[in-house]
Amino acid sequence: MSETGPPVVVVLAGGTPPRLDRIAAGTELRHVTEDGLAEALPTADVLLVWDFLTDALPRVWPRTGGPRWVHTASAGVDRLMFPALVESDALVTNSRGVFEQPIAEYVTGLVLAMAKDFPGTYDLQRSRTWQHRETMRVSGSRAVVVGAGPIGRAITRLLSALGVRTALVGRTARDQDPEFGRVHGFGQLSGLLPDADWVVSAAPLTGQTADMFDAATFGRMKQGARFINVGRGPLVVEADLLAALRSGHLGGAALDVFRTEPLPPDSPHWDAPGLLVSPHMSADTYGWLDDLAEVFLDNLERWTAGRPLRNTVNKKLGYVPVAEGAPGTEKPGSDKSDTEKPGTDKPSTERPDTEKGMS
């Protein structure tokens, strides 16, 4: 790591991320792939994990030295929560603020598509079949959104705008949420499931949430309910979901994330009844890579100036606590995130001497 020279920013990426040419002069920028990561990390001050699907970091994280700050171009940080990084002094930040609204729009589109049977209409059109059907009324239906972070909150906001009566579930219960009033605790989920027409998984992957959607969970859902996962693949016991679809207990499901990605051609998901498969794209809209770069550049400016970083991950919890920006999220450059909050790590220009659940 640089002690007296210019700060060293290592970018882990298969290609060239946009807009990094705007990094101020006097900063050394090094682009590496996984093959060069082990050599680059010991002298890095900052690591930008642009290739956020990498599994290389736990294998090559240096025993001494290494980055003081790690930023990931993703909302989830589960791949970064390996012991060496969690126990280190390095700050971790994510790209909160880019994905919330697109994912909420995607989930809302899935709800409308399943309620109105758009897939069935398309299939009938292709077969030139005129078949009148009745469809479900969305307004007045009930949803449970699991994950009370910014993504879950954005989903709840849009579903509520459609007239869906939505219960938001987080790690802990609270009755004075500034936007929704009540947030249910994880322990209350089983009691909410039997009345839900829609169950949406938007939780981070932690020790508490892994495999949370299993046979017991699906069994608590009412006959014909639909399930959507835009969180992480390992939140779901996939064999149990497939069994619930094949038995007809669930009326349908949509998965945007899977345990194995890309989904293999021989995966049983492709032919599961009532299952809509999408390739981890719910957050990806035109211009999203530029937006990701802007979040990093904004934080790099803060880091260089010794100001508090946005989107600082609580490494003990495995996510950015929602209280940092509740009820909404702030855009890069917003002065609202300049004020250091209780429990928020403040970056230093010197190396410090010596920091899982749902929101």
Burial readout 124-135 (b: 16 or more C-beta within 10 A, e: otherwise): eeeeeeeeeeee
pTM listed for this prediction: 0.86
Contacts of 229 (CB under 8 A, 6+ apart): 200, 201, 213, 235, 236, 253, 254, 255, 256, 257
In sequence order, the β-bridge partners of residue 276 are 254
Model pLDDT, residue 3: 57
Mean pLDDT of 19-40: 95
Examine the residue annotation and report whether 232 is marked as an active-site residue of this protein.
yes
Mean pLDDT of 103-121: 98
Separation of alpha carbons 54 and 146, rounded Å: 26
DSSP string computed for 236-261: B-HHHHHHHHHTTSSSEEEES--SSS
pLDDT tens for each residue of 256-278: 999 999 999 999 999 999 999 99
Catalytic choice (280, 301, 351, 355): 280
pLDDT tens for each residue of 314-339: 999 999 997 544 444 444 444 433 33
- At 239, the amino acid letter reads A
Examine the residue annotation and report whether 246 is marked as an active-site residue of this protein.
no
Mean pLDDT of 83-95: 97
In the chain, which residues fall in CATH 3.40.50.720?
A: 8-98+286-337, 100-277
CATH superfamily of 100-277: NAD(P)-binding Rossmann-like Domain (3.40.50.720)
Catalytic choice (232, 269, 302, 310): 232
Model pLDDT, residue 338: 37
For residue 345, pLDDT over 50 is answered with no
Burial class (CB in 10 A: 0-12, 13-18, 19+), 200: buried
What number of CA atoms fall less than 13 Å from residue 23's CA on the CB side? 24
Catalytic choice (39, 87, 179, 261): 261
Model pLDDT, residue 316: 94
Q: How many residues does the chain have?
A: 359
CATH topology for the 8-98+286-337 domain: Rossmann fold (3.40.50)
Q: Which of 213, 206, 209, 245 is nearest to 226 (CA)?
A: 245
Examine the residue annotation and report whether 350 is marked as an active-site residue of this protein.
no
For residue 145, pLDDT over 90 is answered with yes
Q: Which of 282, 322, 241 is nearest to 111 (CA)?
A: 282
Q: Which helix H or strand E contains 38, and what residues bound it?
A: helix 34-40
